[in-house]
Structure 1
């Protein structure tokens, strides 16, 4: 009987270690953003018509921790809010104008970065033209709305969690992807 329990215990450890390995592999696997050219617009220019948030959770100049996986090194990175705006944030699937495979569920493009979007939220499945230049091949790309969320979006400066060059004016992270940084540097 003890041999059966020992065998089951060893089997369970092997299964769990396999799961852990799979999770770590998934965390370190290249994201869709990594596979694209890492052109990242850092202009800080905001789209016409975008309004500053009236009462954001995180204010300009405040230090934050980022909990997003849009780009490599972003999750767990520390940064500083450089802009807070009230708008509608979309995840979109688009085909880059410079060729390449479609980018699925890109987060985030905002209402003011979609051609002729108007002021009402766009429905899931709506076909649009992007006027964002966050990534190479995004400006003018045809896209499909995956999700829509009325929220505060933030532009942030951050240093990647695992090292690398600082990122300036990253567009965009949504409120749920940030938390207060417990210490200031």
Structure 2
């Protein structure tokens, strides 16, 4: 009887160990999945996103009176906001006079802080008023250039009164990008 009781006890503990190992394996798998998601979030760049704009302009934005590059002009992009952008041949689809800002913000969807994002214009800031804002000013973004941007709290890193452009170009892998917002005048050159 004593041998049978020891055998049952040993069997019971073996069963508990097997269940514990299974539970740990599931926990380890969940932990690995979470780590992989975090790695992807940290290394995510903007290359996989749709960079085309809807063509919907922010309220109050005014067309440029005398832009250096007229709508329809062929230009070359001299900026690398996105992979495949620098050196791309483009067509100007819009020209507007405004204040353009670089901003730093933490996406509303979580993830790492984005620093010196180029560009957000004055009309894309919530309750910004009429006057240009200075670096260091805290603002709320009202733009959807990137996932998690709209509604995010941000700090203005730089501000410049200039002409900004929307452009159409062919990006990486032959991707057609239309109404890309925004490229500044000094980021374009005549074709």
Normalising by structure 2, we get a TM-score of 0.74
Q: Deviations over 1:117-136 (max 9, x none)?
A: 11211111111000011111
- Count of paired positions: 149
User: 2:31 maps to what in 1?
Assistant: none
Does the CA-based 8 Å contact 2:100-2:160 persist in structure 1? yes
Q: Deviations over 1:70-94 (max 9, x none)?
A: 1111100011000000000000001
Whether 1:167 aligns to 2:182 is no
Q: Which runs of 5+ in 1 are unaligned?
A: 1-31
Give RMSD over aligned pairs.
1.7
Does the CA-based 8 Å contact 1:39-1:136 persist in structure 2? no
User: 2:14 maps to what in 1?
Assistant: none
Whether 1:67 aligns to 2:93 is no
Q: Which runs of 5+ in 2 are unaligned?
A: 1-42
Q: 2:186 aligns with which of 176, 179, 183?
A: 176
Question: Which stretches of structure 1, 4 residues or longer, exceed 4 Å deviation after superposition?
Answer: none
User: 1:119 maps to what in 2?
Assistant: 130
Cα distance in 1 between the residues matched to 2:86 and 2:153 = 28
- SS of the residue 1:76 aligns to: coil
Normalising by structure 1, we get a TM-score of 0.76
Change (3 A) 1:154 1:136: same
> How far has the Cα of 1:40 moved from its partner?
3.1
The 5 A counterparts of 1:104-115 are 104-115=115-126
Does the CA-based 8 Å contact 1:41-1:135 persist in structure 2? no
Cα distance in 1 between the residues matched to 2:46 and 2:86 = 17
- SS of the residue 1:112 aligns to: helix
Whether 1:80 aligns to 2:91 is yes
Normalized per residue, the structure richer in helix is 2
Q: Deviations over 1:21-58 (max 9, x none)?
A: xxxxxxxxxxx882586243520110000000000000
